[in-house]
Amino acid sequence: MDARFNYLGNPVTAKLVKHIASAGKVLADSPLPAATQELVALRASQINGCGFCVDMHTKNAANAGETSVRLNLVAAWREAKVFTEAERAALELAEQGTRIADAAGGVTDETWANAAKHYDEDQLAALVSLIALINAANRMNVIIQQPAGDYEPGQWA
Q: What H or E segment, with its residue span, contains residue 142?
A: helix 121-144
Rounded distance, CA 60 to CA 54, Å? Answer: 10
Distances (CA, A) of 51 to 48, 137, 144, 150: 9, 11, 12, 11
Rounded distance, CA 59 to CA 28, Å? Answer: 16
Answer yes or no: is pLDDT of 154 > 90.
no
Helix (H, G, I), strand (E, B) or coil at 89: helix
Answer yes or no: is pLDDT of 123 > 70.
yes
End-to-end CA distance of the chain: 25
pLDDT band with cut points at 50, 70 and 90 for residue 112: very high
Residue-range domain boundaries for the chain: 15-144
Instruction: Give the predicted TM-score (pTM) of the model.
Output: 0.94
Answer yes or no: is pLDDT of 149 > 80.
yes
Structure confidence by residue, pLDDT tens digits, 25-84: 999 999 999 999 999 999 999 999 999 999 999 999 999 999 999 999 999 999 999 999
Specify whether the CB–CB gap between 3 and 144 falls below 8 A.
Answer: yes
Distances (CA, A) of 5 to 13, 125, 138: 10, 32, 15
Average of per-residue pLDDT values in the chain:
94
Encode 121-152: b = buried (16+ Cβ within 10 Å), e = exposed: eebbebbbbbbebbbebbebbbebebebeebe
What is the pLDDT, as a whole number, of residue 89?
98
Answer yes or no: is pLDDT of 116 > 90.
yes
**CATH number of the domain at 15-144, please?**
1.20.1290.10
Average pLDDT, integer, range 4-14: 91
